[in-house]
Structure 1
Amino acid sequence: MQGFLLGTLGACPSLSPTAISSPPPQVFINFRGEDLRYGFVSHLEEALKRRHINFFIDKHEERGKDLETLFKRIEESSIALAIFSRRYAESGWCLDELVKMMECVEMKRLRVIPIFIKVEPRDVREQKGDFGTRFWKLARSSRGVQIMKWKHALCSVTNKMGLTLGEKRYENDFIEEIVVEIERMLNAKWKKVLYI
């Protein structure tokens, strides 16, 4: 049970008393649930568990809670994965999480790895193509200030070095590349802490 809690990092904090003593997440995973949850993200979860990397994913978070709970998880994390897919921009929650992630980046409290799943980084950055169509459809029912924050976050995060899964690449190799990059970043962070 303890290994499971370490891997999922208290994904059910209200159900498990030992989850309270679990360390904060090392990695926050931001993605459009319906699009990736039962495929790519489930494989990524397993890879992170095997490497004993603590992560947070909202699948077990209590429904009905507001974004502040997710924002707290972002603030507790060292790294965030922004996993962009064709349907990512249909979710105001994903975009609001992305804005919070970028606020933490600007305060130098978080590093973000943009991951592109069968979507072009340029389409995400410029809100074009299929991604852009979905973004602007959501924007029609949103506020102007909120839209500007989303656009700024999309542009800022996609200007960072990221990882792309194209049509002709094995998903398991891509996931391994992501996990290796996370481990590299975590190791660099710990070396920095040790030598301060």
Structure 2
Amino acid sequence: MASSSKPKRIYDVFLSFRGTDLGKNFVGHLYTALNQNGVHTFIDSEELRKGDQISVALMKAIEESCIAIIVFSEDYASSWWCLEEAAKIMECKEQGDLIVFSVFYKVEPKEVRTPRESYNKAMNKHEFKFGKDSEKVKRWKKALFDAGGLSGWHLNEG
């Protein structure tokens, strides 16, 4: 008989962020602080190994984490990889397998939820590429709406 056990928890925290915005500053400091305090944290620049299939490795890491922190920044939605991560994170949250925290870094939560400004521009590009009614785009919009509605931290500077 097949077992339907939950995935083994390997990481305390999975960090989801747009690298071009935040990799060397805010997220780098957050990652360092978490690790220095004994929090085993997945960050793609450190944990992905050469030869790993990126999409499979990222989705598995999300499933193997206890907590996910989504750092929403101005360009987060321009990356379909980030949107796939957000969708997977929110799917795991809905299943009760993951605690999710949102950080709004120089963006307003309503910009993420609705979407507005840079998020609207990015989603329009994705709709053009994948189709306005594509299941992929619908999943991403729902993930942004749900994650943008979470209580989180709003950081404008520093």
Which position in structure 1 is the counterpart of 2:152?
A: 162
Counterpart among 135, 157, 161 of residue 123 in structure 2: 135
Q: Aligned runs of 1:11-50 on 2, under 5 Å?
A: 24-50=10-36
Match of 2:5 in 1: none
Residue correspondences, number:
146
- Provide the aligned C-alpha RMSD in A: 1.5
Contact 1:89 1:138 in 2 (8 A): no
- Whose strand proportion is higher, 1 or 2? 2
- The 2-side partners of 1:63 and 1:122 are apart by 38
Q: Which has the higher helix share?
A: 1
1:52-96 Cα distance to aligned partner (Å, 9 max, x none): 111100013135613111111001111000110000011001000
Report whether the alignment pairs 1:145 with 2:135.
Answer: yes
Offset of residue 153 of structure 1:
0.4
Aligned partners of 2:126 and 2:137 also within 8 Å: no
Give the match for residue 108 of structure 2. Answer: 120
Show the counterpart of 2:4: none
TM-score, structure 1 normalization:
0.71
Tell me how far apart the structure 2 counterparts of residues 130 and 90 of structure 1 sit (CA, whole Å): 8
Structure 1 counterpart of 2:78, one-letter code: E
For 2:34, give the aligned amino acid: L
Q: Tell me: higher relative CO, structure 1 or 2? Use CA pairs within 8 A at least 6 residues apart.
A: 2
Runs ≥4 residues deviating over 2 A: none
Which residue of 2 is the match for residue 97 of structure 1?
85
Displacement, 1:140?
A: 1.6
Give the greater-gyration-radius structure (CA): 1
Q: CA 1:128 to 1:156, structure 2 compared with 1: closer, same or farther past 3 Å? A: same
Deviation of 1:134 (Å): 2.2
User: Taking structure 1 as reference, are residues 44 and 152 closer, same or farther at Cα in structure 2, changes over 3 Å only?
Assistant: same
Is 1:106 equivalent to 2:94 in the alignment?
Answer: yes
Give identity over the alignment, percent. 38
